[in-house]
Amino acid sequence: MIQSMTGFGKATLVVCNKKITAEIKSLNSKQMDLSVKVPLLYRELELELRNTIARALGRGKVDVYITSESIDTGAVSQLNIEMLRGYKSQVENVSQQLNLPAPQDWYATLLRMPDVFKQDLNEEVAQEELDGVREVVGQAIDATVAFRCQEGEKLYHFFKEKINAIQHLLNSIDQYESTRTEKIKSRLVEQLEQLDQVDYDKNRLEQELIFYIEKLDITEEKIRLQNHLNYFLETLDNSERQGKKLGFITQEMGREINTTGSKSNHAEMQKIVVEMKDNLEQIKEQVLNVL
C-alpha cells in the first residue's frame, strides 16, 4: 500500500527522572529535507538519529523536535548567565542595526531563548537515558509511519476512483470512432464539390482521404493510454515508495490524452478528452504527496 508524505507522530518516555518527548512532522518534498532539533545534552546522538529517521521515512520535509525536562521536584534549574548575556548583546545589536525598539520585557524575551538553563555538557549522560532517547524517537517514527499509511489509504482509493473515471471515458470514445471517419470524409467531399469548375481525380482523392484519415487515427494512442492506466494501477498495488514513478506515469498518460484531443476532430470526443484531462490533473496534484 502506498504511503503519503504527510504525517505526524509524537511519543513521550520517562527515564532517569526526565520526561523525554519526540515530535515529528512531515510534509511532501521532492527529496529528504530533514531538520532535527535535539537538546545539547544529547548532541552525540544527532547524526545517529538523523540516519535512523531518514531511513525510516525515506522522503519529505521532516521536522523533528526532541525535548527533555526534569521531573525531579527537588531539582532546581539554574540560569545560564553567560548565555543570557550573549543573547542580550545580540538583541541589542539587532535593535541598533535595524533601528528597532529594544524589548520592553527583557526577562520574558531572554527566558524564551533556547538553552538558557544550565546544562553540564561535560556531564556524562547515563546510557539508560540515551537509550530512552532512541526509544522515544523510534516510537515517534512508528506513529508517523502509521499516520502516513492512513493518509496513503485515502490517496489509494482516490487514485482508483480517478483512474476508473479515465478508463470509463476512454471506453466511451469507441462509440464515436465508427462514425467519425465517415463524417470527416463526407465533409471534405462536400466542400470540394461546392467549388465551381474544379475537376479532380476521384481515385486520387480517395487515396488522399485515406492518408488524411490515417493521420487522425487514435488507435495507438488509445492502446498506449490503456497500458499506462494498467501500469499505474499495478504500481499502486505492488509498491510502497513509488511516488516518483507514479508521477512519471501520469506524465505519459497526459501525452496520450493530449494527442488524442489534437487528433479527434470531433466535438463529443473533445469533450471526453477535457474530462480525462480534468481527472488526470487531480491525480497529478495528489501524486505529489505520495512517498
Among residues 250, 253, 290, the alpha carbon closest in space to that of 1 is found at 290
- 108 and 161 assigned to the same domain: no
Residues 125-151: what's their mean pLDDT? Answer: 93
Residues β-bridged to residue 65: 23, 37
pTM listed for this prediction: 0.74
Cell numbers that stand for 75 in this block: 531539582
Encode pLDDT of 22-42 as tens digits. 999 999 999 999 999 998 888
In a domain, 38, yes or no: no
In a domain, 53, yes or no: no
- What is the span of the domain harbouring residue 181? 151-287
Q: How do strand 60-70 and strand 32-37 relate by DSSP bridges?
A: parallel
Between residues 242 and 77, the one the model is more confident about? 242
In a domain, 239, yes or no: yes
Residues 266-273: what's their mean pLDDT? Answer: 87
Residues 35-57: what's their mean pLDDT? Answer: 91
Encode pLDDT of 56-104 as tens digits. 999 999 999 999 887 765 555 677 788 888 888 888 888 888 888 888 8
Cα distance between residue 14 and residue 234, in whole Å: 45
In a domain, 65, yes or no: no
- 156 and 218 assigned to the same domain: yes
Rounded to the nearest 10 degrees, the angle between the axes of helix 127-172 and helix 267-287 is: 180
Distance of CA 249 to the CA centre of its chain: 15
- 158 and 275 assigned to the same domain: yes
Q: What is the mean pLDDT of the chain?
A: 85
Reported confidence tier of residue 118, pLDDT bands at 50, 70, 90: low
Rounded to the nearest 10 degrees, the angle between the axes of helix 267-287 and helix 243-264 is: 170
The residues near 268 (Cβ < 8 Å, ≥ 6 apart) are 176
- 192 and 268 assigned to the same domain: yes
Please report the pLDDT score of residue 268 as a whole number. Answer: 86
Cα dihedral 190, 195, 198, 204 sign: negative
Show the CA angle centred on residue 5, arms to residues 165 and 287, nearest 5°: 25
- Position 271 pLDDT exceeds 80: yes
- 160 and 228 assigned to the same domain: yes
Which one-letter amino acid corresponds to residue 18?
A: K
In a domain, 222, yes or no: yes
User: Among 117, 142, 169, which residue terminates a domain?
Assistant: 117
Cell numbers that stand for 39 in this block: 537538546
